[in-house]
Amino acid sequence: MGERDVRDLLERLDLPPEDPDFFPSLRERLRARDRSAARRWRVAAVALAAVATAAVAAAAVVATARGGGSVLDRTLSCTLAGSAVPGVGVDAWPRNGYADGGLRIFAGSRDSLLRLAGSVPGFSLDATRCRSASADVSLDVAGLDDFHVVGLGFDRVVARCLPSGRVLLRMQLGLDPAGHPDRATVALAGADGTPLGLFRWQPSLVRAWLGPDCPGG
């Protein structure tokens, strides 16, 4: 039995007539879903405002006119305590045909400190592990000689940096007018400010500069 024969048979499988209200009903459910999402957004906005107010001395939230989007620049100090696997991991990937690009910074093997994806508005930050910091973390690549780049496809940048106790994390996040991340620069440094790695993420391109305490590729 060949492909065409099977297709002919499958076309004969019984199929009920389509409900004429299918798409009107779907539209209504999508609207209801958006209303629910809007309510959640308002709650999240209040939470963010509280965090931003507390962190105003250390974190800069800079609105720009670039295409109506905005840039968020924050420096955080995150504890790595309590993780069975030492260090802080980085996983960054560009989009491919099946999934959107994203970036994740995590303590140990799985506890996300920072997570963002091109298809999801905003970002996710573990406020139980990270707090705003006033340290000066450079976004420069000086001293970070191990360079990696990943373009569209199925590759990703994976690294594990090995600071002790805490890691300083500075993120400069660009958001499009709909709030989706469209670029991010994340610098990791040890508690004493020693640069560990720098990651520049865009939906279609990931570049990483790694120092000797941040092996990966």
Q: Which residues bind other proteins (CB under 8 A)?
A: 1-3, 6-7, 9-16, 18-19, 22-23, 25-27, 29-31, 33-35, 37-38, 40-41, 44-45, 47-48, 51, 63, 68-70, 72, 95-100, 112, 115, 118-119, 121-128, 152, 175-180, 203
Q: Which is nearer to other proteins, 10 or 142 (CB)?
A: 10
Q: How far is the CB of 103 from other proteins (least distance, A)?
A: 14
Q: How far is the CB of 124 from other proteins (least distance, A)?
A: 5
Q: Which is nearer to other proteins, 16 or 165 (CB)?
A: 16
Q: What is the spatial distance between Cα 207 and Cα 156, in angstroms, rounded to a whole number?
A: 10
Q: Which is nearer to other proteins, 30 or 145 (CB)?
A: 30
∠123-141-83 over CA atoms, to 5°? Answer: 50
- What b/e readout covers 52-87, taking b as 16+ CB neighbours within 10 angstroms? eeebeeebeeeeeeeeebbbbebbbbbbbeebeeeb
Do the Cβ atoms of 170 and 139 come closer than 8 Å? yes
Q: What is the spatial distance between Cα 2 and Cα 60, in angstroms, rounded to a whole number?
A: 64
Q: How far is the CB of 126 from other proteins (least distance, A)?
A: 5
Q: How far is the CB of 128 from other proteins (least distance, A)?
A: 5
Q: Which is nearer to other proteins, 16 or 142 (CB)?
A: 16
